[in-house]
Structure 1
Amino acid sequence: MASALRNPRNALVLFALVAGALYLFSTRSPAPSKNQAFGYTDEGLPGRVRNAERIYQKTVSGRQGLIKKFGPTPQDVTMFPPDKDPWPPYTVWDFFPPAFNCPHERERVGQLGDGGKWVCGLHRVEDKPDCVIYSFGINGESSFEAEILERTNHCQIWGYDFSVRSFGPQIPTLSSFRTHFKAYGLAGGDSHGPNDNPKMYTLQSLMDLNGHKHIDILKIDVESWEFDVLNAFVKPYLDAGKPLPFGQLQIELHMWNKKFPEFLAFWEMLEAAGLRPFMQEPNLVYNNYNKGGDQDLSEYSFINVKGDNIFVSDPVVFNVHGTRPSD
């Protein structure tokens, strides 16, 4: 071997072979991790949304298992079990955890306690020129709306509540030219004739009245009317195969007089429309003090994963010629 290496040509060939082997080894892709093998990767915003959806679908499958365990059918599952010994080891909320990972920062906007809401990626609308916010249920407290005004440059807020005459006291301390209030109610059907008091509108009717095609953040707290409201609004979009025209939904769900199969069908309708829960906050004051532990009110925050809203899709950037850079 030593004598062979004395030949410059042989030495050069050996060097080339070793260098080639080292290059191939250095450029070879590492073995996938256990999570990568299951499809969990980091590919920017689209990848984060896909990863969150994979995780969420595990929860959907787990729900079916939980129904079989405690049902075994939805008709056999009780919403708030009566007193038993031992107490059944579940409540209705256990079937519907907020298992979708917000692909941005998740934060509580507004004051602590009643009034604040959990939002995913508020920075995405900070400079959005056509940002639209709808808020149903003011009740004299507008810290949520006030913080959105403070932290965004263009968001316009439409507020509705027939039980009060204006936004809460937090709004006048800021520039209020971006707020619009009407003492209207939100319902599953229109009732706004000259003799109707209060005037009631569907969500679609109010969007049409305001000339809006899209809402970035939709907040609803309408004391159990949310089921009629969303059934009337969501089903036409599902039937037409169109994405819902809003990016996020912050809503308080009221379980008064609801049966499990009824709520399950409602929840699955929201899922079919692309809504994914990323945060839940029970109304502890009402549940534990006013109602003695019935646990029938809970706040949820959803993100819409269908369509191209600002929270799941990056905006298309056009160059000076009005075309995409890749065109």
Structure 2
Amino acid sequence: MRLLASNSTRATTSQTPLSWNVGTFASRTARIMALAMFGALVIQVVLLDCAFSLFFTEEKNELLASSQDPSDFQLASYQSYGFFDDISSEDWKLHQQRFQTHKDHMNDRRPDPTSNELPAMYYMSHYDPLFTCPHERRLGGLGDGPKWTCDPHRLERVARERKEKTQAGAQTSNKQQQANCLIYSIGSAGKYEWEEALAKSLMKEGQTTLQTNCEIHVFDYSKDYTKSGHSSELNIHFHQWGLKSSYDDSLPKAWNIPPKDLERLYTLPEMMAKLGHTHHTIDVLKIDCEFCEWFTYKDWLKPELKILQLLIEVHNLPTSLPNPQQNKGGRYFPVSTNLSPSQFFDDIENAGFVMYSKEPNIHPQAQGNGVEFAYIKLHPEFFKAEGATK
């Protein structure tokens, strides 16, 4: 019995390692299978992620491609004479709708001021911007003198494309060759903040001189304000000329401008002819010549002149101008009563210009009686949006 017991014990003892080995093998197999399944799952997830990434990348590329389809920008480009080449038709139609539904007057039955001595009140209640340039900039810094300018980064491209088309056309004389861009600034009093900032905005990074054919011409008859280095570095050219009207000489007579100064006054077409720019496009015309705007504006709007942006500072009202010969107690007396404010602004709009900026001059001397207006020229089709009423 002891022998049997001993054999039984030995048999039991010898079976233990076999049982353990089988269990261990099964456990390892299970772990391997689990790892394999996990690995397969990871691979599936990775493949699925790649598939989704590829799908969405292609979808994104398709969306970008469709959004960058040149045909989608044709409406804005056509109606802005090529100036805006990246505004979708959908967004452009919103600009049209905004213009077509606007009101020019707080009270349409009284479009003109009832008091000629309150210009600031008039400007607060009439004519606001009807358009927004995506990247307009106040060039020249802060204070009085700088001007809001519509997307200056576009100027050189638009003018360059215009020049290429002109050169490609037949029967083009050398006198008609357009500079890459042309800027006229009338009235400066020796201040060049806007002109210098505009020139520098056209420079590429790292440049210290304006390495384009963009010309900036500054006019002021009162004094020689030529600034050293302007011509060679920034392509800014000063002319001691003033602006006169071809149809109204009220202001020079009222202000007793001396004969020697009258000899340096020219109409805008005469200025352009003297500089060889008769057939050229003026990309930006800036007017800030103390009341001359009321007596010369019809010359700027002549159909034969091509002007793409108008930057105008108006002073007081055309029926409320300071007349040195009639000044009594600082009050304003009319120099000319042939023009109403509404006629002035309506004529500008009817010539195809849309206001994009309005900035009252709140300098203590101006007290809101002077206002900076900025306009961009658009195609007649812009003003004819279907299904809208003005």
TM-score range, shorter chain: 0.5 to 0.7
Residue 117 in 1 paired to residue 147 in 2? yes
The corresponding residue for 1:51 is 94
What are the equivalent positions in structure 2 for 1:1-327 lying under 5 Å apart? 44-45=86-87, 47=89, 48-59=91-102, 62-63=103-104, 66-68=106-108, 72-74=109-111, 77-78=114-115, 91-102=122-133, 104-127=134-157, 128-129=159-160, 130-152=180-202, 153-167=212-226, 172=229, 175-176=232-233, 178-189=235-246, 196-198=260-262, 199-212=264-277, 213-234=280-301, 236-237=302-303, 244-258=305-319, 262-285=340-363, 289-290=364-365, 293=367, 295-306=368-379
Cα drift, residue 231 of structure 1: 1.7
Q: Relative to structure 1, is the Cα distance of residues 119 and 303 closer, same or farther in structure 2, using a 3 angstrom cutoff?
A: same
Q: How many residues align?
A: 238
Q: CA RMSD in A?
A: 3.2
Structure number with the bigger relative contact order (C-alpha 8 A, sep ≥ 6) is: 2
* Cα 1:173/1:73, change in 2 over 3 Å: closer
TM-score by length of 1: 0.64
Aligned counterpart, 1:22: none
Greater C-alpha Rg: 2
Kept in 1, the 8 Å contact 2:196–2:234? The answer is: no
Q: Could you tell me whether the CA contact under 8 Å between 2:231 and 2:237 is conserved in 1?
A: no
Shift in Å, 1:255:
1.9
Question: What is the Cα deviation at residue 233 of structure 1?
Answer: 3.1
Aligned-residue identity in percent? 26
* 8 A contact 1:80–1:91 mirrored in 2: no
C-alpha contact 1:188 1:228 (8 A) present in aligned 2: yes
CA distance in 1, matches of 2:150, 2:347: 22
Which residue of the partner structure matches residue 86 of structure 1? none
Post-superposition shift, 1:173? 7.0
The amino acid of 1:112's aligned partner reads L
CA separation in 2, counterparts of 1:51 and 1:186? 38
**Structure 1 residue ranges (4+ consecutive) displaced by more than 6 angstroms after TM superposition:** none
Deviations 1:28-79 (A, max 9, x none): xxxxxxxxxxxxxx974373444323202222xx235x334xxx34467445
Scaled by the length of structure 2, what TM-score is found?
0.54
Aligned residues of 2:285 and 2:307 also touching (Cα < 8 A): yes
- Once residues 179 and 188 of structure 1 are traced to their aligned partners in structure 2, the CA distance between those partners, rounded to angstroms, is 25
Q: Which amino acid aligns with 2:373?
A: Y
